[in-house]
């Protein structure tokens, strides 16, 4: 499967997915760690991809999203943003609303 098709499949199959360095249990950078904490505070399950495990995916996703850094959070297939945006959304309460809505729609 072509790498862009892989990305599209991951986005279609997961209402909330985080492309990050490391895993939620063992983040490999501070930005990924803070983003995971913000997501976990929403109380919903989310998918993740450790971009350190796949160099091809890591480079292709930067082009796909036109976003040069990680982590990258996607909700309903749309790029929400990186750490700073996620943290701002978490602080305002918007992140929990968006994540809960996406997970609710997926399970409906």
Q: Give residue-wise pLDDT tens across range 82-107.
A: 999 999 999 999 999 999 999 988 77
Confidence of residue 78 (pLDDT cuts 50, 70, 90): very high
Q: Which domains does the chain have, with CATH numbers?
A: 3-103 (3.40.30.10)
29 marked ligand binding residue: yes
The answer to whether 39 touches 18, Cβ cutoff 8 Å, is: yes
Report the alpha-carbon distance of residue 80 to residue 97 in Å, rounded: 13
Distance CA 94, CA 42 (A): 10
Predicted pLDDT of residue 82? 97
At 58, phi and psi to the nearest 5? -60, -45
Percent of the chain with pLDDT over 90: 94
pLDDT at site 107? 73
Confidence (pTM): 0.95
């Amino acid at each position: 499967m072509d790498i862009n098709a892989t990305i599209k499949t991951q986005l279609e199959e997961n209402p909330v997915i985080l492309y990050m360095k490391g895993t939620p249990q063992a983040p490999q950078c501070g930005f990924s760690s803070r983003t995971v904490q913000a997501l976990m505070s929403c109380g919903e399950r989310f998918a993740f991809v450790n971009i350190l495990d796949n160099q091809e995916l890591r480079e292709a996703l930067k082009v796909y999203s036109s976003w040069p850094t990680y982590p990258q959070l996607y909700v309903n297939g749309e790029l929400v943003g990186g750490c700073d945006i996620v943290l701002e959304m978490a602080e305002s309460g918007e992140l929990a609303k968006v994540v809960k809505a996406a997970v609710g729609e997926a399970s409906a």
